[in-house]
Amino acid sequence: MTKAVASFGDVAKESKISPAMQKKMNAIPLAKQLKMVARAIKPGEVEQYNRQLQQIKK
């Protein structure tokens, strides 16, 4: 998320997310969140994140 915020410039860096908004963001599937910040993510990073997430025990 740090890379995503950085890609949106100073306005995003200065923005604070309220607990209510964070709760809404947590409900959005990761795939949709990645599409929202696509310009901040390099093509191979999605696969890298996916591999890392698959290592988390359910």
Model confidence at 55, pLDDT cuts 50, 70, 90, reads very high
Place of tokens 């093509």: 43
Phi-psi region of 42 (alpha: psi -120 to 50; beta: other; left: phi over 0): beta
Q: What is the pLDDT of residue 3?
A: 66
The reported pLDDT for the residue numbered 36 is 80
Q: What is the pLDDT of residue 6?
A: 66
pLDDT tens digit sequence for 6-47:
666 666 666 777 888 888 888 988 888 878 877 777 878 888
